[in-house]
Amino acid sequence: MAEITPYKNQDSKKDQVAQMFDNIAFRYDFLNSLLSLGIHKGWRKKCIRFIASKKPKNILDVATGTGDFAIAAMKLNPEKIIGIDISEGMMKFGKEKINKLNLSHTITLQYGDAETCNLPDNSIDAITVGFGVRNFENLEKGLLNMLRILKPGGQLCVLEFTTPRKFPIKQFYDFHFKYITPTLGKLFSKDDRAYSYLPESIKAFPDNERFTSILKKVGYKKSHFHSVGLVLAAIYLAEK
Ligand SMILES: C[S@@+](CC[C@H](N)C(=O)[O-])C[C@H]1O[C@@H](n2cnc3c(N)ncnc32)[C@H](O)[C@@H]1O
C-alpha cells in the first residue's frame, strides 16, 4: 500500500508531518473544536477515566501537540507528565497554555520522536497518545519503543479516529470529510493539504480489530478497544 503523506513529496513522512503540524499549529485548537463541535474534549476525558484505576504517577503523552491530553491527565493528580512531539510549532502553543494554566510544575513538553526517543526502559506508569499513531512513519517501531518505556503492568491508551462503515454515520462522515473538513481546514489553516491528508490518513489506518491485533503482536497484553463518538473514534487500551 502506498504511504499516505501530507505533501506527497520526496521528504520522509516524518519531516512532512512535522512541517504540516508546524504550519497549522496556530489554528490547530480552533479547528479541532470547530470541526468536531467540541466533542474531542470528552473523548480525552474518557481516556483519562479508563487509566485512572491504576493511579499513574509518571505519565508520558506521546504526540502531545498543543498539550491537551497532557492537560487532561492532570485529573489523575500525577507527579510528572512529559509530553513529547516532533513539531516544535505545536508545542510552542502547548507550552503557552501550560504556563497560563500554571501547570509547568508538573507538565514538561520537549522534542521527542515516539519511534526513537530514548527515555529509560520501564520508567513510565502510563502512556497516552491522542490522534498521533496514525501519523507515525513506522507504526510498529513507535509502539515497540513505547512498550520499552512503560513499566511492567503500565498502561497504554491510544485515542484515534476510525472510518465508520455503517449507514447513516458513514454517509455523514464521508460528506463531512469530503466537503466540510477540507474547505474549513484550508480556509482557516492556510495549508492546502493538511485537512485533506486528515481523512486520507484515517482511511489508511488499520481498523479497530486490526490495530488491536498489532498491539498484541508487538507485545502488549490485554489489548482491546472502545468505540466513542458514534464510532467516529476509538480508545485502545493495552498493558505491558
Ligand atoms: C493530530 S496532532 C494530536 C495532538 C494531541 N495529541 C491532541 O490530542 O490534540 C498529532 C501530533 O502527532 C505528532 N507526531 C507525529 N508523529 C510523531 C512521532 N513520531 N513522534 C512524536 N510526535 C509525533 C505531530 O507532530 C502532531 O503534533
Q: Tell me the DSSP string of 23-61.
A: HHHHHHHHHHHHHHTTHHHHHHHHHHHHHGGG--SEEEE
Q: Distance of alpha carbon 150 from its chain centroid, rounded?
A: 17
- pLDDT tens across 73-94, in order? 999 999 999 999 999 999 999 9
Q: Tell me the DSSP string of 85-119.
A: ES-HHHHHHHHHHHHHTT-TTTEEEEE--TTT--P
107-111 β-sheet, strand order: 107-111, 80-85, 58-62, 124-130, 150-161, 233-239, 221-228
Q: How many Å from the N-terminal Cα to the C-terminal Cα in the chain?
A: 30
Which residue of 16, 34, 85 sits with most ligand 1 atoms within 8 Å of its CB, as the best mutation to test the pocket? 85
Minimum-distance ligand 1 atom for the alpha carbon of 137: 19
C-alpha cell belonging to residue 86 = 516532533
- Taking residue 4's Cβ as centre, other Cβ atoms within 10 Å add up to 17
C-alpha cell belonging to residue 42 = 470528552
pLDDT of residue 38: 82
| Protein residues whose CB sits closer than 6 Å to any atom of ligand 1 | 17-18, 21, 62-65, 68-69, 84-87, 90, 113-115, 130-132, 135-136, 142
Its sign, for the CA torsion 200, 205, 208, 210, is positive
Delineate the domains of the chain, giving CATH numbers in brackets: 13-239 (3.40.50.150)
Any idea which residue has 513507535 for its cell? Answer: 142
pLDDT of residue 29: 95
- pLDDT tens across 154-204, in order? 999 999 999 988 889 899 888 988 899 999 999 999 898 999 999 999 999
What does each C-alpha distance from 23 to 89, 138, 190, 213 come to in angstroms?
8, 22, 8, 34
DSSP classification of residue 3: P
The C-alpha torsion from 130 through 91 and 72 to 50, rounded to 10°, is 30
pLDDT of residue 137: 97
